Structure 1
Amino acid sequence: MTGYPLYLLTRLGQFALVVFIGINIAFIVTHATPIDPVEQSIAAATQFGSTSPEAIALMRQSLKELYGLEGSLGDQYVSFWSRVATGDFGPSLSAFPTPVSTLIGRALPWTVALLVVSTLLTWVLGNLLGGLAGYYRRSKALRFAGILAMTFHPIPYYIVAFLLLIVFGYLWPVLPISGGYKMNMTRDWSWEFIGSVAAHAILPVLSLALVGLGGWFMGMRSLVSNIVTEDYVAYAELGGVERRRILGSYVMRNALVPQVTGLAMSLGSIFNGAIITEQVFGYPGVGTLLVSAVHVGDYSLVLGITTVSIVAVSVAVLLIDLAYPLLDPRVKAR
């Protein structure tokens, strides 16, 4: 087997290995923590009254079954992977008896929408402005745009989020600063609800986009600056080809190929930024859910969110990796 089928099988094998190692690390870390979800649940249930030792023993046994903590570490490992395979991470400690999968299912669409919008907006604007700045190097407006983009780039996500919170929440309160939509609003597909969701997402998206814009801008400007010196670009200019066509068909198109790869590779770091950003703005996504789970020691919820995050980021990288040889004919799929 040669060509793209072999390339596909190789990448699928690498994907499975990455997911397997990542989930195993999450299992080891969560089991190495001193937090015992069973004892926490027993303490919470018995803090307002005395309970017989027999009842506590039965409660402990039932909770171990619920959390998959029965038997030795090897038994717990097998139980954990069986739950991962079926998408069942047991009940949540902080929202008992709601299943972890239900909580993640409620929060995941918010985070996915936030990341997709902010990532695509940043990628498109950064590459567009960077490509124009690399080709029209004497433009003062593009130089100023580059200065602004590079100013925000080294600033951490949460600092930008706090700055936006202060500016638009207190100094110029024109945008909502907390939540995913207006309180006491019916969740449906009405224009009022969609408008409220969009308004509440502006500041979280903006905080992620401002930080990520500089990286794409600088990368694209550097790529375009190298491509414009190529012979085929010089011949096209001498041949009287319109500059707009040269920029779009000869320069930007070739420069975008490595940027597509970088789009997938940046998803992991953006997710980290989304966790903090969601917490700052009280956004009802996976980030807010994860921070709350860590604070209360919700073992099952932390493990479930970590597993879903590992799989989601790995799938995104895999899809871009599989599309890369199809996008760039210069890359051989081996």
Structure 2
Amino acid sequence: MDFYKFLLSRILTFVLVVFIGITAVFFVPRFLPSDPVEAMIGQLTSKSAFMDPKAIETMRTTLNESFGLQGSLLQQYFGFFKRVLITHDFGPSLANYPAPVGELIGRALPWTMGLLLTSTIISWAIGNVVGLLAGFRKEKAYSKLLEAISIALYPIPYYIFALVLIMVFAYIVPIFPLSSTFQGDGFTWERIKSLVVGSTLPALSMILVGTGWWVISMKTLSAGIAEEDYVHFARLKGLKERKIMSRYVLPNAALPQVTMLALQLGTIFNGALVTEILFGYPGVGTLIYTGILQADYNLIMGTITISILAVAGATFVVDFLYPFLDPRVRYK
């Protein structure tokens, strides 16, 4: 019975979060001072010597219908929910008219997922291994050095690392290209090589900062757990330090880290906005930037809605699976 109550509460929470998030996504772009339809008509009229006013009005009506801007704000709101939840259609993009937003997201999402999924998992793995050693053996000189390096790396924004990497490895020592250029098609060697080379600097800029955070958090957790009574009892039993670290400290310190990893995996659908812009990377972050610059309502709503669903879904899955990962947690 407790399980069903728990499951129902989490489902309701998931639905509420998605509802509030999508509602905010709908209203916030409409508070922008620019009107996408009028901007598009202005661009068209500026390139033409003369346009019939009736043709302009017909175009305005057609574009308003295409972008879901026809009728009152309440009618637009219900129409937006109908398109998203029933037909899964965000409409055409203004910035890439008449390409559908869903098609643009479908092309950009694999790039973002490949970049951020890889960099997040690498930084999580390295950071937890280093943090575990630094926390469990905190009296060692290398532990203090690793902690100092992590504390120095963590506060630095990842785009600062990106700029430094560009200056060093694209100008001073031109090993990598200035922007992420990809060549070839399919799974050819040329294509794979260009993917690796073009994604190395963007990934490295996020791995460095992400690793610093994971080292600090894992070091704090493992250092606290290493002082628990059951760890002292394991030492009194004569167990080796390596076994104590792997059997007693690591499983308890890893649980919060697994939770945070799941939540961060949900946020990868946002894209790395500044990094993608700096490196010309064709991901979701670049789409969001383009949508904001050109007041492209549909593109903004489409990209951010995907992110809301991903984060809410990751939170729901973590809440549901956590009792299986930690026997001390029960469904209540």
Task: Note closer, same or farther for the CA distance 1:166–1:38 as it changes in structure 2 (3 Å cut).
Answer: same
1:117 matched to 2:118? The reply is yes
Query: Using the alignment, how far apart are the partners of 2:206 and 2:327 within structure 1?
Result: 33
Task: Note closer, same or farther for the CA distance 1:26–1:155 as it changes in structure 2 (3 Å cut).
Answer: same
Tell me what 1:21 maps to: 20
1:69 matched to 2:69? The reply is yes
Tell me what 1:94 maps to: 95
Tell me what 2:173 maps to: 172
The number of equivalent residue pairs is 330
1:195 matched to 2:193? The reply is yes
Q: Is the 8 A contact 1:88 1:101 kept in 2?
A: yes
1:81 matched to 2:81? The reply is yes
Tell me what 1:146 maps to: 147
How far did residue 18 of structure 1 move? 0.7
TM superposition score normalised by structure 2: 0.94
Query: Using the alignment, how far apart are the partners of 2:115 and 2:5 within structure 1?
Result: 35
Query: Using the alignment, how far apart are the partners of 1:269 and 1:332 within structure 2?
Result: 27
Query: Using the alignment, how far apart are the partners of 1:8 and 1:173 within structure 2?
Result: 54
- Sequence identity of aligned pairs in percent? 46
How far did residue 77 of structure 1 move? 0.6
Query: Using the alignment, how far apart are the partners of 2:248 and 2:107 within structure 1?
Result: 45
RMSD of the TM alignment (CA)?
Answer: 1.8
Unaligned runs of 5+ in 2: none
What is the correspondence of 1:142-291 to structure 2 with a 5 Å cutoff? 142-179=143-180, 181-182=181-182, 185-266=183-264, 274-291=272-289
How far did residue 281 of structure 1 move? 1.0
Q: Is the 8 A contact 2:22 2:308 kept in 1?
A: yes
How far did residue 76 of structure 1 move? 0.5
Query: Using the alignment, how far apart are the partners of 1:233 and 1:192 within structure 2?
Result: 52
Superposed CA deviations along residues 261-280 of structure 1, whole A, max 9, x for unmatched, are 22234457777681111111
Q: Is the 8 A contact 1:177 1:203 kept in 2?
A: no
Query: Using the alignment, how far apart are the partners of 2:12 and 2:193 within structure 1?
Result: 43
Q: Is the 8 A contact 2:112 2:271 kept in 1?
A: no
Superposed CA deviations along residues 177-219 of structure 1, whole A, max 9, x for unmatched, are 312x43xx22212233123212211111111121122221111
Q: Could you tell me which amino acid in structure 2 is paired with residue 152 of structure 1?
A: L
Task: Note closer, same or farther for the CA distance 1:333–1:26 as it changes in structure 2 (3 Å cut).
Answer: same
Q: Is the 8 A contact 1:130 1:218 kept in 2?
A: yes
Superposed CA deviations along residues 98-152 of structure 1, whole A, max 9, x for unmatched, are 1111111110111112221111111111111111111122332332222222111
How far did residue 235 of structure 1 move? 2.1
Question: What's the secondary structure of 1:301's corresponding residue?
Answer: helix
Which sits farther off after the overlay, 186-195 or 253-262?
186-195
Query: Using the alignment, how far apart are the partners of 2:250 and 2:178 within structure 1?
Result: 37
Q: Is the 8 A contact 2:158 2:205 kept in 1?
A: yes
Q: Is the 8 A contact 2:262 2:314 kept in 1?
A: yes
Tell me what 2:57 maps to: 57
Which sits farther off after the overlay, 138-147 or 118-127?
138-147
Query: Using the alignment, how far apart are the partners of 2:184 and 2:198 within structure 1?
Result: 15
Tell me what 2:29 maps to: 30
Question: What's the secondary structure of 1:56's corresponding residue?
Answer: helix
How far did residue 45 of structure 1 move? 1.9
Q: Could you tell me which amino acid in structure 2 is paired with residue 308 of structure 1?
A: I
Unaligned runs of 5+ in 1: none
Q: Is the 8 A contact 1:157 1:273 kept in 2?
A: no
Q: Could you tell me which amino acid in structure 2 is paired with residue 15 of structure 1?
A: F
